[in-house]
Amino acid sequence: MRIGVVVNPIAGLGGRVGLKGTDGKVEEARARGAEPRAPDRARRALDELAARAPDATLLAWGGSMGADAVRAAGFEPTVLGAPEGEETTATDTRRAVEAFLDHDVDLVLFVGGDGTAADVAEALSDLDSNATPMLGVPAGVKVYSSVFAVSPEDAAVIAATFTRVEEREVMDIDEDEYREGEVHPELRAVAWVPVAEDLQSSKQTGGGSVEALAEGVAHGVRGGVTYVLGPGSTVGAVKRALGFEGSPLGVDVWRDGEVLVRDGSEADILAALGEENVVVVSPIGGQGFVFGRGNPQLSPAVVRRCDLQIVASRAKLDDIGVLRVDTDDPDLDAALRGWTRVRVGRVEQRMMEIV
């Protein structure tokens, strides 16, 4: 097995600090104290790959774009090139894919978000006539495409064991529109991807009325409790039921009738927490992620200090089947897994499994 590894080292950089993406915001993210997310996600995937397929041959792009993480996992990669400047670009990703194809890799394993997925897929489409598959390790803020594994470890298992490929969608959105609360996923490419159960679905919009469940949440609020309200239209209805118009794709914090934080970063949220806290979130339609897609401000440090309340329409739950988590903290992910109650109406709840 010959695997080409390319990492977008700035993927997900803007998430924890509330920027909802990294496109055009790298310096601002760093000024806010953002820490790189992609290198750790790459290392998790490659550590698992070393356990599953220690004899795999890994080819990589230089430095932080792959070689560093590959070596840290105990492999000795064939390094085919390096970024042209201090800041990595889409051109660097494309050059890496071209080099991998020249060296007949069996799989392009990339670490990033939807933008990176689009760069890899478009390069493969333009350069490759042999349908070399690609597989994503999710590390971006927005991960809507169906070419990603559910977690870094799942990506390694799939890479080590797949035997068939199929065509799947690469989606992306305009991050400036996203920051203004507009989500319009656009099909960027169709790529060959390993066939596996542990691949996420494309982002879809859940339907159905959520007013009743929002009223149920608002009716049940308790004095002195801090409510951390996640992004999305379902929790947006909860915010309106509480009497304010929240940030549609950001995280707001509310207590005793007052909005303490609007569109907050991880640090803002942590500073606003009290002795008793509840985080209210809704799974992403079509995928089922409660944490780890679109809400990295809800970091492990935040989640560990909060009780969890999940809300969703019946139609959304029927569509997704199970719930998922991908918090960057495997121990927390394990603690969250299992059966949980999801509010689907004013008083009605449904048992759903977090897998």
pLDDT, the chain, mean: 87
pLDDT at 221: 95
Which residue's structure tokens are 């549609």? 248
**CATH number for the domain whose boundaries are 2-194:** 3.40.50
Q: What is the pTM of this model?
A: 0.66
pLDDT band at 177 (very low <50, low <70, confident <90, very high): low
The model's pLDDT over 230-278, given as tens digits with 9 standing for 90+, comes to 999 899 999 999 999 999 889 999 999 999 999 999 999 999 999 999 9
pLDDT at 61: 93
| pLDDT at 207 exceeding the cut of 50 | no
Q: Which of 7-11, 26-30, 63-67 has the lowest mean pLDDT?
A: 26-30
Report d(CA 348, CA 330) in Å as an integer. Answer: 31
pLDDT band at 84 (very low <50, low <70, confident <90, very high): confident
| pLDDT at 162 exceeding the cut of 80 | yes
Provide the strand spans (E) within the chain: 2-7, 57-60, 78-79, 107-112, 134-138, 165-172, 186-194, 226-229, 252-255, 258-261, 277-281, 289-291, 307-311, 324-325, 338-343, 349-354
Boundaries of every domain in the chain: 2-194, 211-354
pLDDT at 287: 86
